[in-house]
Structure 1
Amino acid sequence: MIPPAAAAAFVEQAGWGHAAILPLAGDASLRRYFRVVDGARRAVLMDAPPPQEDPRPFIAIARHLAGEGFAAPAILASNLNEGLVLIEDFGDERLKEYLEAQPQDEAAVYSRAVELLADLHSRPAADLPAYDRAVYQREAGLLTEWYCPAVGLTVDEAAYVAAWDAVLPLVERSARSPVTVLRDYHAENIMLIDRPEARGLGLLDFQDALAGHPAYDLVSLLQDARRDVPPEIEAAMLAHYRAVAKPPADFDAAYAILGAQRNAKIIGIFTRLWKRDGKPRYLSFLPRMWGLLERDLAHPALGPVADWFAANIPADKRHDALEGFAPA
């Protein structure tokens, strides 16, 4: 976590010439983050090195969200050639760690997060590419591309595509109109901040946003890859969303389909992070992801996809099949 060579000159030009640049965090991509400290002032330096990373989508969506009254980090300065962006610092209190310390607040805080989504979904979508059938299929295909070979399975990939083609039309029909889908709306990307007008919730990691179905971000929140959301909280928050947003009657079916699609995708991504990127720690999340996926597959709307899993991935090749590769 050494700052990039251009960082010192960049923060100086931005008016932070005497600041310290301290390691903060990385994520599953090549992006890295540093805290910039100048006396009482704090900011965050995003290092999104080109050509692999492009910070322009993050900047565009941050400005769109801020313009709609949501708490996305203010963009303080940017150098797109170097992939450097100086952004507002939302502090260190992520929803995940807050709930670990204050579990009694789970329902109240998740209610606020659900209401934020309902508010976002009541507004026109940002100018974004569509989250369409081609994207859904490409993402779901990460499971057959990465996970199945890792556990020694040769599966019927054509039938897998056909199974998804059989269930995705319900999702396509059920959305009244596309909404801004942040795509990674979960407890590690939601900050608790002192901004009552934004429900006290700061948004991060939305650079991959698309225009799609409102159920997707609700799945991201309530079927979290990195923390266990109690089933009773998930059910209560689904009911809360229905009460606030008044979605169509088939919303629960769309939620299950997109839950299965997202969870299959994440199983593939986490396997790829191990196999391709040398990050085995993500394998420890796979038992949770399989549990969530199997819950979604039990919904009647997912019959063809559930049948494919039953025929192609036996029980002993799920859950902890890669456990021996995960770090202790």
Structure 2
Amino acid sequence: MDVIIPEGATGFLHKAGWADAAIEPLPGDASFRRYFRVRQADGRPAMLMHAPPPRENPEPFLRAARWLDANGLRAPVIHADQAEAGFVLLEDFGDVRVREYVEAWPDDEAAVYRAAIDTLLALHRLPPGPFTDYSLSEYLREVRLFTEWYCPARGLYVDVQGWTAAWEEALAPLLPRQRPGVTVLRDYHAENIMLLEGLEAQGLLDFQDALVGHPAYDLVSLLQDARRDVSPEIEAAMFDHYCRGASAAAGGAFDVDTFLADYARLGAQRNAKIVGIFVRLWKRDGKPRYLDLIPRVWAQLERDLAHPALAPVAAWFAANIPDDLRDPAGVLGGTFAA
């Protein structure tokens, strides 16, 4: 763990009224952001986020946090910020993440996930927030991470133009259904949801990349988690729980089959993107530990590709990715290119 306190942090805390607070570094994530727990002499805690420009920009986090809080959702309260220097002092949600809690108390898993689905339903009842649209060009930029990073690392020469064309065809039916759209947090999963008071009071983290898009995106992010196994039974039950809530909100005008097709489309899109990101984290950023997560993500990708809505993308995989690399159990086997 990097224990070096960023230059300017003590001055920022002094101006924020936390001059004498103790500073404790916390483990980092896949980004260039760093987090510190700060604690006053009386025990009062807060979180210090350092998102240093030019690699990071705290402004999107601040905008999203304030919008979520203003609309009744539990993002951390912002105590102070110095965005130009990358510093934000925010509410401390504690240490109880959904991931660790449900692993310790598996009998509570369904209740915890139902509460997380209820948070999504509440978010989706709101008009979309002040965020950019999740455009086709953004979807395509993300899935190209697969051909830009994973395929070269595997020594594969693939049909890149065909990859883009397949995704354009697969995503075309979905695009009209994400207008006017909902706020999409884009990284909604068990490591970014905190338990605050009981199982149902849940706090949100890591929403700085929020866009306006399709309601299935955050649902598939939660239920096809890259970092923990969500059983098929829990995924199916929570999918049904979401659909019942969305149908009630729409007065019964909710097509489950169409929504399931879009869920598969966005699951495949997200999982293909994540495979590329995890390889990039290794090759570019020197973080090889994310490679161990690829088999789980790949298994989810293969399940999504089985849906007829993904037929163009499934055909591309059949033509470009050798069968021995498509077995999730052996997806990390063989040799990655240096």
Using the alignment, how far apart are the partners of 1:248 and 1:37 within structure 2? 50
1:46 is matched with which residue: 38, 45, 49?
49
* Matching residue within 255, 266, 290 for 1:248: 255
Partner of 2:251: none
**What does residue 15 of structure 1 align with?**
17
Contact 1:283 1:323 in 2 (8 A): no
Deviation at 1:324, TM superposition (A): 7.1
Matched AA of 2:71:
E
1:289 aligns with 2:291: no
1:110-153: per-residue Cα shift (whole Å, max 9, x none)? Answer: 01100110110011011111101000001011000000010110
- Residues 1:212 and 2:217 aligned together: no
1:177 offset after TM fit, Å? 2.4
Given that residues 78 and 91 in structure 2 are in contact (C-alpha distance below 8 angstroms), is that contact kept between their aligned partners in structure 1?
Answer: yes
Query: Does 2:274 align with 1:280?
Result: no
Deviations 1:253-280 (A, max 9, x none): 0000000000000000000000000000
CA gap of 1:324–1:162, structure 2 versus 1, over 3 A, is closer
**Mean Cα deviation higher: 314-323 or 162-171:** 314-323
AA at the equivalent of 1:28? A
Consecutive unaligned residues in structure 2, runs of 5 or more: 248-253
TM-score, with length taken from structure 1:
0.96
1:294-309 alignment to 2 at 5 Å?
A: 294-309=302-317
Aligned length: 324
Give the match for residue 322 of structure 1. Answer: 332
Q: How does 1:138-217 map to 2 (within 5 A)?
A: 138-175=141-178, 177-194=180-197, 199-217=200-218
C-alpha distance 111-324 of structure 1, shift in aligned 2 (>3 A): same
Residues 284 and 323, structure 1, Cα contact 8 Å, conserved in 2: no
Q: Deviations over 1:51-105 (max 9, x none)?
A: 1100000001000000110110000011112100000000000000000100011
CA contact (8 A) 2:47 2:89 kept: yes
Asked if 1:135 corresponds to 2:143, the answer is no
Q: For 1:21, what is the secondary structure of its paired residue?
A: strand
Residues of 1 paired with 2:66 and 2:236: CA distance?
33
Map 1:57-72 → 2, pairs under 5 A: 57-72=60-75
- Could you tell me how far 1:194 is from its partner in structure 2? 2.1
In the other structure, the counterpart of 1:27 is: 29
- Find out whether 1:263 has 2:265 as its counterpart: no
Structure 1 residues 10-67: Cα deviation after superposition (integer angstroms, max 9, x where no partner):
1111111110110112111100000001131000000000111000000010000001
Q: Is the deviation greater in 310-319 or in 146-155?
A: 310-319
Deviation at 1:315, TM superposition (A): 2.5
Paired residue type of 2:180: S
Aligned to 1:93: 96
The separation in 1 between residues aligned to 2:121 and 2:331, in whole angstroms, is 38
CA contact (8 A) 1:174 1:254 kept: no
Q: Contact between 1:19 and 1:37, CA under 8 Å: does it hold in 2?
A: yes
Q: Return the letter of the residue paired with 1:224.
A: D
Q: Which amino acid aligns with 2:322?
A: P
- Long gaps (5+) in structure 1: none
Any runs of at least 4 consecutive aligned residues in structure 1 with deviations exceeding 4 A, and if so which?
323-326
1:84 maps to which residue?
A: 87
Name the aligned partner's letter for residue 251 of structure 1. F
Could you say what secondary structure the match of 2:172 adopts? helix
Residue in structure 2 matching 1:3, options 5, 16, 40: 5
Q: Take 1:284 and 1:101, find their aligned partners in 2: how far apart are those partners? A: 22
Q: Does the 8 A contact of 1:130 with 1:212 survive in 2?
A: yes
Preserved CA contact (<8 Å) 2:268 2:305? yes
RMSD: 1.5
Q: Secondary structure at the match of 1:128?
A: coil
| Farther-moved stretch of structure 1 (165-174 vs 122-131) | 165-174
